[in-house]
C-alpha cells in the first residue's frame, strides 16, 4: 500500500508550515546569499559567533567557475544551501510557488556546475585544497555535505521531477561508491560525522539501486572495527597540522576520544549512545534505514538497543538529547540530564525525529510515534521563535539570565534566540523537518494504515481509501477520522494511542463505542471499509504531573507539567523571578485556558496555585531551621515549553518543585 | 588585658594538632625537600598536576648561593616553605621539639642568605629574571611570597625569639615600604594577589612600627582607583609576553576581568565579594586588620559590608566560599551555590577563618565566632584526610564519581584526596590554621574576656584569672569553665552562645541557673571573680534540619543535617549509591550514636529512616506519572562532612531531599 497524496490541514502545523514557507525560507535565502538588507544581530550569538556573512551560495558559485574568490565559512558551509533546498522541496508540495521553484532550479544549476566530473562536490576542498580530497574524511565534512545534497536532491526531484536534481545526487552516490568499499583499490573508510549513510539509503529508496545501500552498509559495518588504520591515519594528518580544520579547532573537544565519533567499537557492539549527539543519532538513523533495506537483523537489533538506551536513559522530557556542552555537544552517562547546563541541540532533536521515523518504518511499535510526538511538540520547535527569524542552538530546561551571563559553565545557555549562527546547522534542519511533517503522520504496510500522529490531514491511499483527519491537536484530545472507501476495501486502520493517554481514552466508530485491546500501543480496526466511516478518538487531555526516574538527579523532588504531548514550563514573564522558590502541592488544582493573545500562535495555558517561599530579608541568614521560612500562596502560569523566550527575557524552568 | 599562656587540652583539636605535628609537618618537610623516600601519588591529582618534585627549599638554596641550578615550580613556590615554617612556629608552642626547631633555624638561615641586601626575596625573580623585579606585581607573586614569609617570621619569632626570623621580616617590610607608596619616587602599586597587606599589619602589631601599617593601608586605598596606570601597564607587560607567568597561563582565567583581582572599584565602594575567592578574602583580612590599627571607620564599614555579603549570600553551609572553578576559583553571584560543581577551596575556608578573626578582634559580635566555628569544624578540616597525608583543594557538597570522571564541568571535583599538589597552597595553609587554633579561642579587651570557641584549654590572663575550659565539643554540648582568680578580679567573662543553640541553652554558675539576656550573641557574666567559679554551659545538641534561603536554587526542597557546629553528609560507604533517591520525611526520627571505630578520630554518627525511591526496571520509562514510583523505607547514616572520603570512594551528598 502507498500514500498517493497527503495534504496537511492541521491548524497547529499549518501555522508552523506557513512560518517556514513565508518567513524562514526567504530569510534563510537572504542569509545564504549575504543579502545586505539582512542585519544579523550580534547579541546573544555568544559561542556560536554570529556571522558577518554566510557566503554559502558564493562558495558554490566560485567552485562552479561563476565567480572568483576564496572559500569562506565552515567546512560544512555547503550544507546550509542543501538543507535550505530540501526545505524548499517540501514547502513546494504544500505551497506551490513557481518563482521559488525557479530560484531553486537556478541553485541546482549552480550546484551542477560546481560538481566535478566524478560526482565529487565540496567547495572548501575544491577551492582551497584540491590535493586534500578524501584525505581526511575522519574530520572533514566532505561526505556530510554530499549527504545533505543527496537528501535535498532526492526530495526536490520527488516534488518537481527536475531530473538534474536527482542526477547530481546519483553522481555523488556513484562517486562515493567508486571511492569507498571493501575492494583493495577503494578506501576502507567512513566519515567522522555520519550523515552520508542515511542519505545513501534515501537515494537507494528513490532509485532502486542497491549499490547505494551497499556502500552505506559498508561504512556502517566498518566503523569502529580494529585495526582502524584508515581513520587513525587520517586523524594523524590533521593532528600533525598538515590539514587545518576550522571546525575541529573550534570544537570544545580539541582531542576527541574515538567515542566522540562513534568510532570506539563496531556499531553492533555499542551498548549505549556516545559522543557528539547529532553524529550519534544521524548514524542510528542510517543504521535503522539500512537494516530495513537489507533485512540485517543484527543491525536492526543494535538500532533498537540504542533506541532504548537514548530514549530511556539519556533523553530530556522535551525530547532533547546530548546533555553536555564542554564534552562536545555530547552524550554523557546514563541519567545525567542536568536542566540548567543542558545542550539539547535543536539538530539533535531533529535527528531524533528522523531516527524515530526510520525505526517506525521498520517495526510496528507505538513507542516510536510516542517519542516522535515528544520531539515534534517540544524539543524541535523550541529551536525557533514564533516569528520564524530567531533560533536556539541549545534548548535548556532551566534558565537563569544571571547564570548565563556570569557562569562560564552556562555561557552556552542563551536566554534569547539568536538571529543566525556562524555554525548554522539548526535553523535549516528545523525548517526541513517542519516542512516535511506530513511524512510522519501515516506509516503504511501491505495490510495496514498506521495513523501515527494526530496532525489534521486529507490523505488518499492507493487502495482507494481516503482519510480525513480533523481536530485541534495538541490543544484538544478530540480527533476525528473520516474514512471513505470508493469501493469496499479490506484493510486495517491502526491508530496510535499515545502513552500519556493509554490509561484513559475512548474510541467510537460511527458513534458506537469500540473496545479493543491495544496492540503495541495501537488500536487496530480491521474491517471491510465502504462508504464513509467516522472514527472519533478522545484522548486524555488532563494535566499530568510527570516524574522522572529517580536516577535523574536533577529532577528528584520535582514534577514536570504535561498536557497531551506538550511539555509546559514556567517563565518569568508570567511568574516573576525566583521560579525555584515555587512549590506545587501534592494535588494541585489546574485550570486550563485557551489563549490566542499572548503569542503569535494560539496556545493553551495552565494555571494553578503553588506555595512560594519568600526570602526572609535582603540580608537575612543564608541558612536556618524551617521555622524561619515564610511562604505565601501564589498563582503560577505554565506555558508550552516550545513557546518560551518569545517575550521579555527572564528565568525559565520546566521541572518544578513539588511537596 | 592579655593572654599570658594558653594550652589546648581539647580532645578533638588535640587529635588534629597531633596529626599536624607528627604527620603533616614531617611529610611537608619531606615534600619541599624532594625527599626521595616520598612517593607522590599521581592519581586523583587531576588538574592540579601532582608534582614530580617541589624544589621549594632548593630554590632558596640556589638564591642563597648555596646550590646551583634553575628555579623550578610556580612563582609562589617559596610560600610553601614559609607556610611550613609558620605551622612549625605554632606547633613548637604546644609541642616543643629542639630537633625541629634546629631544622627551622637552618631554613631561616638559608632564607636570610637568600634575601637581598634591600630586603627583597623572591627566588623566581632572583634566579631567573632579576631584571623583572617589581615590574609585574599585578600578576607575579613577589609580594605574596614575602607576605607569607613575614607571617612566618613574626610567628616564629614570637615562639622562639630567634631574632633573625623577625629581622628578615622587617627587612622585607622595609623593602616594600621603600618601593611602594604615594611618594613620587615610589611605585603607586599593589599586588594582583593580596596577602602582603595582612602580613604587614601583623608585622606592625609585632614591631609597633606604624610604617608597615601605612604601606599596607596605601596598597588597600590605592586598589581599584582610576586612572589605574600602574596595574594596567604591568598587566600589559605580561600580556605582551614580555614576562611569562606560569601560574597565569595555567589559570582557567586567561584574560581576567579586573574584578578577578578585586581591582574594579576602590575597596570602600565594593558592594559584593568578587573574583578569585582566596584573593578576595585575604584582602578583606588585611582590610579589617588595618582598619582596627588605624581606626579607619570607612574601611571597617567596607569590611563589615563585605563580611555580610560573603556570609549571607555566597557561603556554603560548610563555610566554603568561591563557587566556580571555570571563573577562576571565584565568587560568582548572589546565592549561586551549586553543590556538585562547588570550588570551595580549602585555602578560601582558611582565609575566611583569618578574616573572621580580624573582624572579631575589632568588633564584639558573636556572628564572627559563629562563622569561624562553621569553618573550623567543616570546610577547613575537610581539606585533609584523617591520616594527615592526603588533601582536597576543592571541597564539594555533592559528589558522583561518574560525573567527576565523565563531566568536564566536574573534573575539578575529586572523589579522593590527593597526596600533594603542584600548586600546594592548601595543605600548609590548613596546617598553620590547625596549629594556631589556640589563637581563636579567646578575644580579650580591656574589660572582658570573650570565650569565642568551645575548644578545651587552660589559659592564664595577665589580670590573674585562669580559665580551664573542658568538655567534649563538638560531640557534647556540655562545656565547663573553671575560672580561678588568685586574687579578686573584676572583669566580664562573655561566652558566645552559638546561633544554632540560641533558642535552647542553659548556663549555671556554681550550680545556680543563670538567666541573662544575650548581648550580640554573648552571655556576659560581670563579677568580682575570686577563688574558683564553675560555669557550666549546656548547648542544644539536637539534630537540626537546616534549610537554605530559597534563592539558593540547588538547595530548594532539601535539608542539611547539622548537630552542634558539625554539618553532616551522606556517603555511599554507608548508604549505597543513588543518594539523591533518598527523601527524608517532614519529621524524621534521628538516632545519635558515638562511633570511635569507623574513622581514625572518634565521631558521632546520626541515623534515621528515609524513603528511597526505586528505579523501576533497568530499562523502564524515563518519565512517568507518580503512580509508577516504587518506594521503600531505608535507614540512612550521616557522618560529619569533614570525615568524608576517608573510605572507599563513592557518592557523597550534604543536601538531602525532604518531603
For residue range A420-472, what is the model confidence (pLDDT) as tens digits?
776 777 888 999 999 999 999 999 999 999 999 999 999 999 999 999 999 99
The per-residue DSSP string of A292-350 comes to HHHT-HHHHHHHHHHHHHHHHHSB-TTS-B--BSTTTSB--STT---SSS---BHHHHH
DSSP B67: S
- How sure is the predictor about A58, in pLDDT bands with cuts at 50, 70 and 90? very high
In this predicted structure, the answer to whether residue A300 has a pLDDT above a threshold of 60 is yes
User: Residue A43 has what pLDDT?
Assistant: 41
Tens of pLDDT, residue by residue over B280-315, are 999 999 999 999 999 999 999 999 999 999 999 999
- Which strand (E) or helix (H) includes residue A60? helix A56-63
Q: What angle do CA B574, B577, B579 make, to 5 degrees?
A: 85
Within 13 Å of residue B541, how many CA atoms lie on the same side as its CB?
A: 17
The pLDDT of B73-85, averaged and rounded, is 93
Q: Do B621 and A549 touch (CB under 8 A)?
A: yes
- pLDDT exceeds cutoff 70 at B138: yes
Please report residues of A whose CB lies closer than 8 A to that of B616.
549
Q: Which of A549, A552, A622 sits opposite B620 (nearest CB)?
A: A549
The model's pLDDT over A146-173, given as tens digits with 9 standing for 90+, comes to 999 999 999 999 999 999 999 999 999 9
At A387 the pLDDT is 85
Rounded CA separation A372/A365 (Å)? 12
Q: How confident is the model at residue B45 (pLDDT cuts 50, 70, 90)?
A: very low
Closest CB from B406, B551, B558 relative to A615: B551
- Coil, helix or strand for B223? coil
Q: Do B553 and A324 touch (CB under 8 A)?
A: no
For A:428-467, CB contacts with B below 8 A are none
Q: Is A406 on the interface with B (CB under 8 A)?
A: yes
d(CA B524, CA B495): 6
Residue among B277, B368, B371 nearest B322 (CA): B277
pLDDT over 50 (residue A249): no
Write a three-state SS string for B337-402.
CCCCCCCCEHHHHHHHHHHHHHHHHHCCCHHHHHHHHHHHHHHCHHHECCCCCCECCECCCEECHH
In contact, A237 and A136? CB cutoff 8 Å: yes
How far, CA to CA in Å, does B115 sit from each of A344, B149, B168, B562?
58, 11, 8, 49
Q: Number of C-alpha atoms within 13 angstroms, CB side, residue A81?
A: 33
The residues near A154 (Cβ < 8 Å, ≥ 6 apart) are A165, A166, A169, A202, A203, A206
Chain B environment of A623 (Cβ under 8 Å) = 317, 546-549, 560
pLDDT at A271 over 90: yes
Cα A496 to chain centroid, rounded? 21
Q: What pLDDT score was predicted for residue B397?
A: 98
The better pLDDT of the pair B324, A488 is held by A488
Per-residue pLDDT, A278? 96
ipTM at complex level:
0.90
Burial of residue B525, with CB atoms counted within 10 A of its CB: 0-12 exposed, 13-18 middle, 19 or more buried? buried
CB < 8 Å from A in window 11-50 of B? none
Catalytic residue of the set A398, A425, A426, A651:
A425
On chain A, the residues whose CB falls within 8 A of the CB of B408 are: 324, 326-327
Query: Measured between CB atoms, which of B332, B400, B558 is closest to A407?
Result: B332
Please name which of A132, A128, A29 lies closest in space to residue A80, comparing C-alpha atoms.
Answer: A29
Best to test chain A binding among B313, B320, B550 (most A CBs inside 10 Å): B550
Q: Which residue has the higher pLDDT, A530 or B75?
A: A530
The count of residues in chain B is 659
Closest chain B residue to the Cα of A499, Cα to Cα: B624
Q: How confident is the model at residue B555 (pLDDT cuts 50, 70, 90)?
A: very high
pLDDT band at B240; cut points 50, 70, 90:
low
The pLDDT assigned to A272 comes to 96
Half-sphere exposure (Cβ direction) of A264: Cα atoms closer than 13 Å: 14
B361-371 confidence digits (pLDDT tens): 999 999 999 99
pLDDT at A81: 97
**Which secondary structure element, helix H or strand E, spans residue B61, and what is its range?**
helix B56-63
Task: Provide the pLDDT for residue B359.
Answer: 98
B-proximal residues of A, 483-502, CB under 8 Å: 499
Q: Could you tell me the three cell numbers for B387? A: 591520616
Grid cell digits, residue B494: 562573655
| Contacts with A, B 339-378, CB within 8 Å | 341
Checking if the pLDDT of B626 tops 90, the result is no
Does residue B247 register a pLDDT over 60?
A: no
**What DSSP string describes B240-298?**
TTSS--HHHHHSS-SS--GGGGT-SS-GGG--S--SBHHHHHHHHHHHHHHHHHHT-HH
Please, which residues 536-575 of chain A have a Cβ atom closer than 8 Å to chain B? 544-553, 556-560
Residues of A in contact with B625 (CB under 8 A): 544-547
Question: What is the rounded distance in angstroms from the CA atom of residue A350 to the CA atom of residue B63?
Answer: 64
- Residue A252 has a pLDDT of 37
- Inter-CA distances, B573 with A556, B414, B451, B578, B601, Å: 22, 16, 38, 12, 17
What pLDDT, in 10s, does the model give residues A596-611?
999 999 999 999 999 9
Q: Most distant CA pair in chain A: distance in Å?
A: 79
**Whether residue B425 lies in the annotated active site:** yes
A-contacting residues of B 600-619, CB under 8 Å?
613-616, 619
Is residue B406 within 8 angstroms of chain A, CB to CB? Answer: yes
In B, which residues are within 8 Å of A619 by CB distance? 308-309, 312-313
A244 vs A532: which has the higher pLDDT: A532
Lookup: cell for B171 = 627587612
∠ CA A118-A123-A129, nearest 5°, is 90
Residue A257 designated active-site: no
Mutate to test the interface with A, among B333, B521, B623 (most CBs of A within 10 A): B623
Given a cut of 80, is residue A231 above it in pLDDT? no
User: What percent of chain A has a predicted confidence (pLDDT) above 90?
Assistant: 80
Q: How far apart are CA A397 and CA A644, in angstroms?
A: 10
CB-count burial class (<10 Å; 0-12, 13-18, 19+) for B254: exposed
Global pTM value: 0.93
Would the CB atoms of B317 and A545 count as touching at under 8 Å? Answer: no
> What percent of chain B stands above pLDDT 70?
93
Q: Which residues contact B625 (CB under 8 A, 6 or more apart)?
A: A544, A545, A546, A547
CB A381 within 8 A of CB A567: no
Model confidence at A620: pLDDT above 80: no
Tens digits of per-residue pLDDT, A336-375? 999 999 999 999 999 999 999 999 999 999 999 999 999 9
User: Smallest Cα–Cα separation from A365: which of A288, A443, A310?
Assistant: A443
Nearest CA in chain A to B275: A406
Closest listed residue to residue B233, CA positions, set B296, B184, B189, B202: B189
- SS3 of residue A493 by DSSP: strand
Residue B54 banded pLDDT, cuts 50, 70, 90: confident
- Look at A52-56, A223-227, B310-314, B501-505 and tell me which has the smallest mean pLDDT: A52-56
Highest mean pLDDT among A23-27, A190-194, B565-569, B611-615: B565-569
CB count in 10 Å sphere of residue A160: 19
Q: What pLDDT was estimated at residue A517?
A: 93
pLDDT greater than 80 at residue B629: no
Specify the DSSP element, H or E, that contains A64: none
Tens digits of per-residue pLDDT, A465-521?
999 999 999 999 999 999 999 999 999 999 999 999 999 999 999 999 998 899 999
Strand A582-584 to strand A603-614: parallel, antiparallel, or no bridges (unpaired)?
A: antiparallel
Amino acid at each position: 500500500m502507498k500514500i498517493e497524496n497527503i495534504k496537511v490541514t492541521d491548524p497547529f502545523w499549518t501555522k508552523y508550515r506557513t512560518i517556514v514557507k513565508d518567513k524562514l525560507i526567504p530569510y534563510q535565502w537572504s542569509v545564504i546569499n549575504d543579502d545586505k538588507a539582512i542585519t544579523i544581530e550580534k547579541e546573544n550569538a555568544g559561542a556560536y559567533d554570529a556571522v558577518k556573512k554566510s557566503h554559502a551560495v558564493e562558495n558554490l558559485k566560485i567552485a562552479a567557475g561563476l565567480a572568483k574568490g576564496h572559500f569562506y565559512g565552515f567546512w560544512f558551509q555547503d550544507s546550509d544551501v542543501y538543507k535550505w533546498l530540501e526545505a524548499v522541496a517540501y514547502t513546494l508540495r504544500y505551497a506551490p510557488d513557481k518563482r521559488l521553484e525557479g530560484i531553486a532550479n537556478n541553485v541546482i544549476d549552480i550546484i551542477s556546475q560546481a560538481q566535478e566530473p566524478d560526482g565529487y562536490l565540496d567547495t572548501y576542498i575544491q577551492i582551497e585544497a584540491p590535493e586534500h580530497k578524501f584525505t581526511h574524511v575522519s574530520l572533514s565534512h566532505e561526505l556530510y555535505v554530499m549527504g545533505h545534497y543527496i537528501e535535498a536532491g532526492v526530495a526536490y526531484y520527488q516534488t518537481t521531477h527536475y531530473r538534474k536534481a536527482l542526477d547530481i545526487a546519483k553522481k555523488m552516490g556513484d562517486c562515493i561508491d567508486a571511492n569507498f568499499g571493501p575492494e583493495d583499490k577503494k578506501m576502507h573508510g567512513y566519515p567522522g560525522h555520519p550523515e552520508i549513510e542515511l542519505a545513501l539509503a534515501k537515494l537507494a529508496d528513490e532509485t532502486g539501486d542497491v549499490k547505494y545501500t551497499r556502500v552505506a552498509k559498508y561504512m556502517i559495518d566498518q566503523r569502529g572495527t580494529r585495526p582502524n588504520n584508515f581513520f587513525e591515519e587520517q586523524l594523524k594528518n590533521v593532528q600533525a597540522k598538515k590539514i587545518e580544520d576550522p571546525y575541529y579547532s573550534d570544537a570544545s573537544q580539541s582531542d576527541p576520544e574515538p567515542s566522540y565519533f562513534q568510532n570506539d567499537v563496531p556499531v553492533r557492539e555499542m551498548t549505549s549512545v556516545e559522543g557528539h549527539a547529532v553524529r550519534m543519532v544521524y548514524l542510528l538513523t542510517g543504521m535503522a534505514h539500512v537494516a530495513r533495506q537489507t533485512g540485517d537483523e543484527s543491525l536492526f537489533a543494535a538500532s533498537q538497543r540504542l533506541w532504548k538506551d537514548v530514549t530511556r536513559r539519556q533523553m530530556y522530557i522535551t525530547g532533547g538529547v546530548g546533555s553536555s556542552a564542554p564534552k562536545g555537544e555530547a552524550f554523557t552517562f546514563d541519567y545525567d540530564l542536568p536542566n540548567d547546563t543542558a545542550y539539547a541541540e535543536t539538530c539533535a532533536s531533529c535527528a531524533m525525529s528522523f531516527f524515530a521515523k526510520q525505526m517506525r518504518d521498520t517495526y510496528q511499535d507505538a513507542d516510536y510515534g510516542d517519542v516522535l510526538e515528544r520531539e515534534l511538540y517540544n524539543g524541535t520547535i523550541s529551536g525557533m521563535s514564533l516569528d520564524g527569524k530567531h533560533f536556539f542552538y541549545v534548548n535548556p530546561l532551566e534558565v537563569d539570565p544571571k547564570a548565563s551571563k556570569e557562569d562560564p559553565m552556562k555561557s552556552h545557555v542563551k536566554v534569547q534566540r539568536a538571529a543566525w549562527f556562524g555554525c548554522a546547522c539548526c535553523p535549516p534542519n528545523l525548517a526541513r523537518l517542519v516542512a516535511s511533517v506530513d511524512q510522519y503522520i501515516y506509516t503504511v504496510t501491505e495490510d495496514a494504515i498506521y495513523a501515527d500522529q494526530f496532525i489534521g490531514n486529507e490523505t488518499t491511499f492507493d487502495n482507494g481509501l481516503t482519510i480525513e483527519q480533523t481536530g485541534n491537536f495538541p490543544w484538544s484530545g478530540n480527533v476525528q477520522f473520516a474514512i471513505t472507501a470508493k469501493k469496499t476495501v479490506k484493510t486495517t486502520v491502526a491508530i496510535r494511542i499515545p502513552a500519556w493517554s493509554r490509561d484513559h481514552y475512548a474510541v467510537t466508530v460511527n458513534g458506537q463505542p469500540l473496545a479493543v485491546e491495544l496492540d503495541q500501543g495501537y488500536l487496530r480496526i480491521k474491517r471491510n471499509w465502504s462508504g464513509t466511516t467516522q472514527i472519533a478518538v478522545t484522548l486524555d487531555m488532563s494535566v499530568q504531573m510527570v516524574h522522572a526516574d529517580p536516577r535523574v538527579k536533577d529532577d528528584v523532588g520535582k514534577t514536570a507539567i504535561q498536557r497531551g504531548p506538550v511539555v509546559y514550563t514556567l517563565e518569568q514573564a508570567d511568574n516573576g523571578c525566583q521560579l525555584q522558590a515555587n512549590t506545587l502541592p501534592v494535588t494541585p488544582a489546574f485550570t486550563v485556558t485557551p489563549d490566542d493573545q499572548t503569542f503569535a500562535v494560539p496556545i493553551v495555558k495552565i494555571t494553578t496555585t503553588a506555595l512560594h517561599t519568600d526570602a526572609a530579608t535582603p540580608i537575612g541568614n543564608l541558612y536556618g531551621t524551617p521555622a524561619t521560612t515564610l511562604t505565601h500562596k501564589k498563582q503560577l502560569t505554565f506555558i508550552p515549553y516550545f513557546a518560551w523566550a518569545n517575550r521579555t527575557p527572564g528565568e525559565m524552568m520546566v521541572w518544578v518543585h513539588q511537596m
